[in-house]
C-alpha cells in the first residue's frame, strides 16, 4: 500500500525558512513524479510544485517561484520542499502527493498524504 | 485556465442524486479530475480523465463532460459522501483546482 507522511511544518516568522519532508513507501519512488499542494485555512487547494521521478525537471506556481525549491532523495524515498522568504500568505496545510502514472510530470494526484501545517506569523 | 465549480454549497439527503458542475475558462478536452476531501484529511482521487473511476471508488460516483463543461454525479448519496469536492485540470505549465463544492446533510 502506498503511504505518504509529511513532516516539518510549524510556526515561522515572516522572512524565515522551513523545510518540509514527505516520506514515501509502498511503491518504486524514483518511477513517479511527486507534487506539493497547499490549502490555506478554510480555503481551497492550490498547486505549489512538481518534480519528475529522477529530479531532472521541476515546476513551480507563480506564487512560490524563486522562493521555494522542490527536491527528492530517491535513495531514501523522501520528497522535500525548501521554503524561503516565507510570507503570511504561505500559511497553509501542505500536502504531498504521488502522480498517478509512472514517468509523468503532469498527471492526476493519487494518493495524498495527511498534510503538515505551516504557520507564518510574527 | 480557471475552473469554476457550482454550486459552492449543496445540501442533500441520504439516497439523493446530486450533480456538481465544473466549468473551464477554455477548452480542456477531457483533462479533468474530481477529488473528495473530508475534514482534516488529504484529498482522494475519485474520477480522472473526465469519466474514469479510480480503483476502489464506488460506482455511485460518475463523471462526464468535455471541452469546458463537466459534471460529477453521485447517485444514491451515502452518509460517508458528505464532504468537499474539487475539480482539477493540468496542462504542460501548471495545475489548477476549482474552488470546491461543500456537500452537507440536509
Q: SS3 sequence, B57-99?
A: CCCCEEEEEECCEEEEEEECCCHHHCCEEEEEEECCCCEEECC
Average pLDDT of span A75-83: 98
- The list of chain B residues with pLDDT below 70 reads none
Is the Cβ of B42 closer than 8 Å to some Cβ of chain A?
Answer: yes
Query: What three-state secondary structure class fits A88?
Result: helix
Q: Report phi then psi at A56, rounded to 5.
A: -80, -20
| Mutate which: A33, A107, A108, vs B, most B CBs within 10 A | A108
B82: its cell numbers: 458528505
Considering only CA atoms, which of A29, A70, A32 is closest in space to residue A48?
A70
Residue A59 predicted with pLDDT over 90: yes
Q: Look at residue B93 in the predicted model and tell me its pLDDT.
A: 85
Residues of B in contact with A111 (CB under 8 A): 42, 44-45
Q: What is the mean pLDDT of chain A?
A: 98
The whole-number pLDDT of residue A33 equals 98
* pLDDT at site A119: 98
pLDDT for position B9: 97
pLDDT surpasses 90 at A92: yes
pLDDT at residue A107 in the model: 95
Cell numbers representing residue A100 in the block: 498517478
Of A5, A24, A109, which to mutate for an interface test with B (greatest number of B Cβ within 10 Å)? A109
Q: Does B92 touch chain A (CB under 8 A)?
A: yes
CA dist B17 → A33, B5, B50 (Å): 36, 17, 19
Residue with cell 462526464: B64
**Whether pLDDT at A13 is above 90:** yes
Amino acid at each position: 500500500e502506498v503511504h505518504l507522511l509529511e513532516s516539518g511544518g510549524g510556526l515561522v516568522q515572516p522572512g524565515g525558512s522551513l523545510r518540509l519532508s514527505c516520506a514515501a513507501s509502498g511503491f518504486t519512488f524514483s518511477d513517479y513524479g511527486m507534487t506539493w499542494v497547499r490549502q490555506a485555512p478554510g480555503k481551497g487547494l492550490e498547486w505549489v510544485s512538481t518534480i519528475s521521478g529522477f529530479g531532472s525537471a521541476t515546476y513551480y506556481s507563480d506564487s512560490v517561484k524563486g522562493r521555494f525549491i522542490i527536491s527528492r532523495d530517491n535513495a531514501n524515498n523522501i520528497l522535500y520542499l525548501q521554503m524561503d522568504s516565507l510570507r503570511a500568505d504561505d500559511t497553509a496545510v501542505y500536502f504531498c502527493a504521488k502522480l498517478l502514472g509512472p514517468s509523468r510530470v503532469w498527471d492526476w494526484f493519487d494518493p495524498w498524504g495527511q498534510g503538515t501545517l505551516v504557520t507564518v506569523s510574527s | 485556465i480557471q475552473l469554476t465549480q457550482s454550486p459552492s454549497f449543496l445540501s442533500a439527503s441520504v439516497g439523493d442524486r446530486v450533480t456538481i458542475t465544473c466549468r473551464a475558462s477554455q477548452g480542456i478536452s477531457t483533462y479533468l479530475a474530481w477529488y473528495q476531501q473530508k475534514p482534516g484529511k488529504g484529498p482522494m482521487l475519485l474520477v480522472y480523465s473526465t469519466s474514469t473511476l479510480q480503483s476502489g471508488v464506488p460506482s455511485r460516483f460518475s463523471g462526464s463532460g468535455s471541452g469546458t463543461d463537466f459534471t460529477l454525479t453521485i447517485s444514491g448519496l451515502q452518509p460517508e459522501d458528505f464532504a468537499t469536492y474539487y475539480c482539477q485540470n493540468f496542462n504542460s505549465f501548471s495545475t489548477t483546482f476549482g474552488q470546491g463544492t461543500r456537500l452537507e446533510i440536509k
